[in-house]
Amino acid sequence: MNSLFKIKKYITENFFIIILILLMSLFIFGFIYEKMWINKMLERPKYTVAIATTDWHQKNNNGVGTDYSYNLNSKVYNGTTNFSYKKGDRFLIIYDSVKPKNAKVLDLYPIYDDYVGLKIPKNGWKYREVPFDIDSNQIKKYLKD
């Protein structure tokens, strides 16, 4: 009983330090986790075109930014990007071919009106199949920064 009292007293006296350590650990874990899934995505990347489904918005259920969707193998995936697009804008995304919900917007490569008749395969493009010039080194640097 005495040791339980000491533990409770220690936690009470150091509550803010304990909370700070927990928050820092959570932040570090989140940072490492995102880097890990980006590296996994870069090991098996595919590309497709996403369409903005909303204009840029303040906080809603999906967060701050522009909501978008993309189709792969007749399945619709949704995401939110912090880039500012108008509803209906199209842009290139990179996604993990094994876990397609893991995707990042590549605002380096906008899809212009010139690409109106662009045929998008139902399972996306491999790097060499993308019908316009993209640079894998530039994409890797962009995603890792």
Q: What is the pLDDT along the chain (145 residues), one digit of tens a residue?
A: 678 888 888 888 888 888 999 999 998 888 887 788 788 889 999 999 999 998 877 766 666 789 999 999 999 999 999 888 999 999 999 999 999 999 999 988 888 776 667 788 999 999 999 988 899 999 999 888 7
- Give me the pLDDT at residue 116, please: 66
| Backbone CA torsion sign across 55, 59, 63, 65 | positive
Strand partners, 81: 66
Residue 117 CA to its chain's centroid (Å)? 27
Tell me the β-bridge partners of 110.
Answer: 91
Amino acid 145: pLDDT:
78
What pLDDT sits at residue 59? 66
What are the tokens at 55? 């204009």
Separation of CA 113 from chain center:
25
